[in-house]
Amino acid sequence: MSQYEIIEKYTPILSKPSYLIVGLPDAGLVGVIATEYLIERLKLKEFAEIYAPTILPPISHVQDGIAKSPIRLYHNHNMIVFHSWIAIPSSAINVISRIIVDVAKKYGISNIISITGLPIQDRLNAEKLNAYWIANDYNTAQDLQKLGLMEKFGDGYIAGPYAPLLIESHKNNLSNFVIVVESFLDLPDPEASAIALTILSKYIGFSISVDELLKEAEDIRDKIKGLMEQTKQELPTYASNRPMTYA
């Protein structure tokens, strides 16, 4: 029996080039906040749910009174968003990375973009948040270097749900890079998400205002504090009590 199943409402038709944007809970919930804002502001359509009962906790996400899988897929004309409403257990992140790669291949997408946070000390007093990229192959790295939207991450390590995705996508000849923005570790960080979204919009070429995201930062923190608590329990297991991402 397969470890997961994609239940589609319909199959989206995407123009080329197309992109798979991944938002999974980790440091500062930077990726999750970014993808949820994308879904809302670009009015992306939900077209599929991913069921993985053997690897995920028995949690359903309830929306407008209806229980759904906590991992769902959304789309517009050239973008699919892979969004999780629950923290991913460390025991499941390798399988989740394979699921993400399978989703990209199923819908003919060769470009995967992930979004995450880089916890820094004294984040509260940081006047500027820096953004970096981590790529899974030389060609992608060259392209990002030329664009100059972010700095190269350099030497270090990345742990958590995006780490195996970089390797798994490379094995399957898919381009994957991670937008890494300085952030809080265990507090939701909409400001970091806003920076990531600005970079993403310039890279893909769409228009999005992050004004509302910044204006509603405190409301967002209150709204997703439950998810942050779930994620805080998983964070130490991703990197054996080392920092999530370290340069």
User: pLDDT for 89-105, tens place per residue?
Assistant: 888 999 999 999 999 99
3 located within any domain: no
2 located within any domain: no
pLDDT-based confidence at 87, cuts 50/70/90? Answer: confident
4 located within any domain: no
Lowest mean pLDDT among 4-8, 122-126, 197-201: 122-126
154 located within any domain: yes
pLDDT-based confidence at 243, cuts 50/70/90? Answer: very low
Residue 168's pLDDT is what?
Answer: 96
Query: What's the chain's Rg over C-alpha atoms?
Result: 17
110 located within any domain: yes
pLDDT tens track for 127-167 = 899 999 999 999 999 999 999 999 999 888 888 889 999 99
pLDDT tens track for 215-225 = 877 777 666 76
Question: Considering its fold, how many domains does the chain have in total?
Answer: 1
First to last CA, the chain: 40
Burial of 104 (0-12, 13-18, 19+ CB in 10 A): buried
Higher pLDDT, 233 or 71: 71
49 located within any domain: yes
87 located within any domain: yes
The two beta strands, 71-75 and 79-84, are antiparallel
178 located within any domain: yes
What is the domain-level CATH number for residue 194?
3.40.50.10900
Q: The domain containing residue 108 runs over which residues? A: 15-246
